[in-house]
Amino acid sequence: MTPWPAREPASTSRSSTAAPSTSAGSASTPSGRPCRTNPVPMLSPYEAVLGGDLTGLHPQLRAYFTAIPAGRHGLGRGTFDRVGTPRRWLWPVLALLARDAVLFPVWEHDVPFLVVNRPGPDGVHAVRRFEFPAGSRDMVDVIGADAGGLADRLGRSGRLETRLAARVVDGALHLDSAGVYLHLAGSRVPVPRRCAPRVHLTERFDDGDQRQHVQVIVSLPFVGRVYEYSGSFRYSIEVA
Residue 146 near residue 163, CB atoms below 8 Å: no
Is residue 202 one of the residues assigned to a domain?
yes
Is residue 204 one of the residues assigned to a domain?
yes
For residues 196 and 174, give the distance between their C-alpha atoms in angstroms, rounded to a whole number: 19
Instruction: Tell me if the pTM is above 0.85.
Output: no
Number of domains comprising the chain: 1
Instruction: Report which of 122, 97, 92 is spatially closest to residue 17, judged by C-alpha positions.
Output: 122
Give just the sign of the alpha carbon dihedral 174, 179, 184, 186: negative
Is residue 203 one of the residues assigned to a domain?
yes
Domain that residue 87 falls in: 40-239
**pLDDT in the model for residue 33:** 55
Residue 163 near residue 49, CB atoms below 8 Å: no
**pLDDT in the model for residue 42:** 83
Per-10-residue mean pLDDT of the chain, 240 residues long, equals: 41 46 46 51 91 96 95 98 98 98 98 98 97 98 95 97 98 98 95 96 98 98 97 96
- Containing H/E element for 50? helix 45-50
SS3 99: coil
Is residue 160 one of the residues assigned to a domain?
yes
% of the chain surpassing 70 pLDDT: 83
Which 8-state DSSP code applies to residue 121?
T
Is residue 232 one of the residues assigned to a domain?
yes
- What digits encode the pLDDT tens for the residues 97-108? 999 999 999 999
**pLDDT in the model for residue 34:** 54
Is residue 18 one of the residues assigned to a domain?
no
Is residue 24 one of the residues assigned to a domain?
no
Is residue 58 one of the residues assigned to a domain?
yes
